[in-house]
Structure 1
Amino acid sequence: MTYQEAVDYIAGIPKFTKKHSLEHTREFLRRLGNPAVDRKVIHVAGTNGKGSVCAYLQAILMAEKKRVGFFTSPHLVSVNERIRIDNVPINDEQFTETFDVVLKAAETMEASGWGHPSYFEFLFGMGMKAFAGTDVEYIILETGLGGRLDATNSVEHPKLTVITSISLDHTEILGDTIEQIAAEKAGIIKRGVPVFFDGSCPEASGVIHRIAFENEAPCREISNHAYEIQEVTRKYIAFSRVNAYDRDVIIQVPICGCYQVMNAEIGLCAAEYLLEGEAIHEERWQEAIRTLRWEGRMERIAPHMVIDGAHNPGAVVAFVESMKALRADEGEGPVILFSAVSDKKYEQMIEYLCRNLNVKAFVVTEVEDRRRVPAEELAKVFHKYTEKRVICEAKVLEALRAAEDERGEDTDIYCLGSLYLAGMIKAAI
Structure 2
Amino acid sequence: MMLNKKEPEVFTYEEAAAYIEEIPKFTKKHTLEHTKLFLKRLGNPAVDRKIVHVAGTNGKGSVCAYLQAILMAEGKRTGFFTSPHLVSVNERIRMDNVQIDNKTFLEVFRKVLKTVRRMVEDGIEHPSYFEFLFGMGMTAFAETDVEYIILETGLGGRLDATNAVEKPALSIITSISLDHTAILGDTIRKIAVEKAGIIKPKVPVFFDGSNKEAAEVIRTKGEELGVYCREVTNHAYEIREVHRKYIAFSRRSAYDKDVIFQVPMCGCYQAMNAELALEASEYLLAGEEIHMDRWKQVLAQLHWEGRMERIGAHITVDGAHNPGAMQAFVESVKALDESERGEMILLFSAVSDKKYDEMIECLCGNLDVKAYIVTQIEDERGVPVEELADIFRRYTDRPVYCKERLEDAVGTALDKRGESGEIYCLGSLYLVGMIKKLLAGGAIDA
TM-score by length of 1: 0.99
Tell me which of 288, 293, 296 is aligned to 2:298: 288
CA contact 1:332–1:360 (8 Å) conserved in 2: no
Is residue 319 of structure 1 aligned with residue 329 of structure 2?
A: yes
Partner of 1:10: 20
Q: 2:75, 2:419 → 1: CA distance?
A: 44
Q: 2:248 is matched by which residue type in structure 1?
A: A
- Residue 193 (structure 1) aligned with residue 207 (structure 2): no
Give the C-alpha shift of residue 333 in structure 1. Answer: 2.7
**Pairs within 5 Å for 1:239-318:** 239-318=249-328
Q: How does 1:7-406 map to 2 (within 5 A)?
A: 7-328=17-338, 333-406=343-416
1:396 & 1:371 partners in 2: Cα distance?
Answer: 16
For residues 364 and 296 of structure 1, what CA distance do their matches in structure 2 show? Answer: 18
- Partner residue in 2 for 1:408: 418
Distance 1:324 1:331 in 2: 8
- Hey, what's the Cα distance between the residues in 1 that align with 2:234 and 2:247? 15
Offset of residue 106 of structure 1: 1.1
Aligned partners of 2:207 and 2:232 also within 8 Å: yes
Q: Summarize deviations over 1:335-369 as a string: whole Å, max 9, x none.
A: 00000000000000001100100011000001111
Sort the Cα spacing of 1:140 and 1:328 in 2 relative to 1 into closer, same or farther, 3 A: farther
Give the SS at the match of 1:360: strand
Q: Which amino acid aligns with 1:232?
A: V
Instruction: State the AA in 1 paired with 2:237.
Output: Y
Q: Is residue 343–residue 420 contact of structure 2 (8 Å, CA) maintained in 1?
A: no
How many percent of aligned residue pairs carry the same amino acid?
A: 68
Check whether the contact 1:332–1:359 (CA below 8 A) recurs between aligned residues: no
* Unpaired runs of at least 5, structure 1: none
Question: CA 1:13–1:195 in structure 2 vs 1: closer, same or farther (change >3 Å)?
Answer: same
CA gap 1:20/1:265 in 2 versus in 1, 3 angstroms: same
CA distance in 2, matches of 1:312, 1:200: 17
The equivalent residue for 2:8 is: none
Question: The residue matched to 2:40 in structure 1 has which SS?
Answer: helix
Aligned counterpart, 2:429: 419
- What's the secondary structure of 2:343's corresponding residue? coil
TM-score by length of 2: 0.95
The residue type paired with residue 420 of structure 2 is: D
Deviation at 1:375, TM superposition (A): 0.8
Distance 2:346 2:58 in 1: 21
Cα 1:330–1:77, aligned 2, differ >3 Å: closer, same or farther? closer
Deviation sequence 1:64-91 (CA, Å, 0-9, x none): 0100000000000000000000000000
Residue 327 (structure 1) shift: 3.5
Residue 329 of structure 1 contacts residue 358 of structure 1 at CA under 8 Å; is this kept in 2?
no
* Matches of 2:323 and 2:212, distance apart in 1: 18
Is the contact made by 2:240 and 2:249 (CA closer than 8 Å) also made in structure 1?
yes
Secondary structure of 1:234's match? coil
Code of the residue aligned with 2:18 in structure 1: it is: D
Please tell me the residue identity of whatever aligns with 1:200: S
Q: 8 Å contact 1:102–1:126 — kept in the other structure? A: yes
The answer to whether the 8 A contact 1:163-1:186 is kept is yes
CA distance in 1, matches of 2:47, 2:218: 26
Q: Where do 4+ consecutive residues of structure 1 move more than 3 Å?
A: 327-332
- The RMSD of aligned alpha carbons is 1.0
Give the aligned residue type for 1:268: L
- Residue 410 of structure 1 deviates from its aligned partner by 1.3
Q: Which amino acid aligns with 2:227?
A: A
Q: CA deviation at 1:328?
A: 4.9
Equivalent residue, structure 1, for 2:5: none
The answer to whether the Cα contact below 8 Å between 2:12 and 2:106 also exists between their aligned partners in 1 is yes
Q: Tell me, yes or no, if the aligned pair for 2:69 and 2:298 is still in contact at 8 Å.
A: yes
Work out the number of aligned pairs and report it. Answer: 429
Contact 1:330 1:358 in 2 (8 A): no
Say if 2:29 and 2:127, in contact at 8 Å, map to a contact too: yes
Counterpart residue type for residue 430 of structure 2: Y
Is the contact made by 2:23 and 2:129 (CA closer than 8 Å) also made in structure 1? yes
Sort the Cα spacing of 1:284 and 1:330 in 2 relative to 1 into closer, same or farther, 3 A: closer
Letter in 2 for 1:369: D
Task: Look up the equivalent residue of 1:88 and give its one-letter code.
Answer: V
Structure 1 position 323, deviation (Å):
0.4
**Alpha carbons of structure 1 residues 161 and 48: separation in structure 2 relative to 1, 3 Å:** same
1:227-252 C-alpha deviation (Å, 9 max, x unpaired): 00111111111110001110000001
Deviation of 1:330 (Å): 8.5
Alignment deviations for residues 348-394 of structure 1 (CA, whole Å, 9 cap, x no partner):
00011001000110000011111000111100110100000001001
Q: Give 1:329 deviation, angstroms.
A: 8.8
For structure 2, which runs of at least 5 residues remain unmatched after alignment?
1-10, 440-446
Alpha-carbon distance between aligned partners in 2 of 1:108 and 1:361, rounded to the nearest angstrom: 55
1:252–1:65 Cα change, 3 Å: same
